[in-house]
Amino acid sequence: MTSVNQQDAESKPSRKSISNSHEYEEVLELIGFGRVQWIILFASGLLLMMVINETMGMSYITIVSQCDFETNSVYKAIMSAASFIGIFSSSYFWGYLSDAIGRKPVLIYTTLCGNLLSLISIIIPNFWIYVVARFLVGFFIAGASSTTYAYLGEFFIPRHRPIVINYASLFVGISTIYVPAIAWFVMGMDWSLDVTESFTFRPWRLLTVFYFVPGLIGTIMLIKMPESPKILLSMGRTDEAYAAVEWIALKNIGKHLHDLKVEALKCDAFADRESILSVSKSPTVSFRKMWAQTAPLLKRPHLKNFCISCIVMCGLFFSSSGMGLWYPEILNRLGSSVSEDAMTVCDVIEASVDQWQVNITTDICNDQINTKSYIDTITYGSALITGYIVMGFVINQIG
């Protein structure tokens, strides 16, 4: 009996050796757009929303915390920049790690670490320690920022991928409404809790909790989702990839892959196992591997397109994130101006600096936000959402 079973096992083809195998994207076409794709789209959108909340939400926290931290414009800039510096310093590493160990673990663990640090930051009374905490929040949420689009896109066929990524980006617009709306709600509260003689817990600290909640929900949704079959195939883990696609088929259409005449997935892009990315215990070896993956971007024919992409993205983020961070502050100063004469933005900023110096000498501090600042930012977010929706229709029509 043992010899018969052994012969059967030897004669049974493995996932890799079956000649009648299918491309991963061909199988996705057979399965169709279903429940799994919708869940992953929504979860990915929530993760992106959390990243925007945590970074752009500082535009309100810098205003309402200025009395507690005794900040001027320079300190506000440092506070706002901390999370962006964290994202900048780690995005490349998280992207490499997601290629080496998979998308899902990077998304889940970095988001949870970022959320935990964000929660801890609400009880930090010291300005510089708070800045360090915000830097670490940015360091970890960069995992979601750099990996979400890759994870999301790998569950869709090429025809659907651009429009799906566009609609995931729609959550950026939703965040632009969510942040001022939540700030408006929370800052309407009038209470304080004296924790120690030098530390009073005020409503603005709750903003951080509201900011990371979407990411926490998105992470919980992703826990039950499979790893990207595409990245599993690139890592040579064909059996796991097949099981993941099987799970998608069962959830979407209630059928097994063999019902669709799919017995195996093709895995020929990484036939040489040595070429598969891996994480080494030696930092030097890991950096060499990262450089080996990056070097082609700095050579022809990729260098030109790489430079153009960098310039375009710098311009986009300068106008959106750079100006967006100061938009509520400028609007608040404009709304707080009592002058009846026409004033430029520079005049308002200069007047507010003079007022800040007066506040220091008279022990008066005003951390109120003008209602118009909330309304104008919500209007801006509504326009952003409209733009994403229109772009979705354009992509759907012309590609």
Tell me which amino acid residue 370 is: N
Q: Residue 324: its pLDDT value, please?
A: 75
User: 34-38, 147-151, 189-193, 323-327 — which is least confidently predicted?
Assistant: 323-327
* Section 78-95 average pLDDT: 92
In this structure, the dihedral spanned by the alpha carbons of residues 362, 353, 137 and 387, taken in order and rounded to 10 degrees, is: 130
* Section 350-357 average pLDDT: 54
Asked whether the bond before 301 is cis by omega within 30 degrees of 0, the reply is yes
Please give the tally of structural domains in the chain: 1
Owner of token pair 């900048």: 88
Q: Residue 349: its pLDDT value, please?
A: 59
* Section 312-321 average pLDDT: 81
Domain of 92, in residue numbers: 19-268+276-312+372-398
pTM of the predicted model, to two decimals?
0.85
Distance CA 357, CA 32 (A): 63
Q: Residue 399: its pLDDT value, please?
A: 64
* 165: pLDDT strictly greater than 70: yes
Give the CATH number of the domain where residue 72 resides: 1.20.1250.20
* Section 97-105 average pLDDT: 91
In a domain, 89, yes or no: yes
In a domain, 243, yes or no: yes
Tell me which amino acid residue 89 is: S
* 345: pLDDT strictly greater than 70: no
* 171: pLDDT strictly greater than 90: yes
Q: How confident is the model at residue 8 (pLDDT cuts 50, 70, 90)?
A: very low
Q: Residue 122: its pLDDT value, please?
A: 94
* 355: pLDDT strictly greater than 60: no
* 1: pLDDT strictly greater than 60: no
* Section 16-26 average pLDDT: 72
Q: Residue 314: its pLDDT value, please?
A: 87
* Section 320-330 average pLDDT: 76
Three-state DSSP class for residue 5: helix
In a domain, 363, yes or no: no
In a domain, 301, yes or no: yes
* 168: pLDDT strictly greater than 70: yes
Q: Residue 273: its pLDDT value, please?
A: 46
In a domain, 345, yes or no: no
In a domain, 361, yes or no: no
6-15, 23-32, 215-224, 271-280 — most confident range: 215-224
298 burial level (CB within 10 Å; 0-12, 13-18, 19+) = exposed
At 50-77, the pLDDT tens digits run 999 999 999 999 999 998 898 888 999 9
Distance CA 21, CA 13 (A): 12
In a domain, 242, yes or no: yes
C-alpha triplet 20, 22, 28: angle, nearest 5°: 150
* 17: pLDDT strictly greater than 70: no
In a domain, 181, yes or no: yes
- Contact (Cβ atoms closer than 8 angstroms) between residue 84 and residue 320: no
Give the rounded percent of residues in the chain with a pLDDT score beyond 90: 47
Q: Residue 261: its pLDDT value, please?
A: 87
Distance CA 214, CA 12 (A): 47
Q: Residue 393: its pLDDT value, please?
A: 84
* Section 33-43 average pLDDT: 95
Q: Residue 342: its pLDDT value, please?
A: 57
At 232-272, the pLDDT tens digits run 998 888 999 999 999 999 999 999 998 888 888 887 554 44
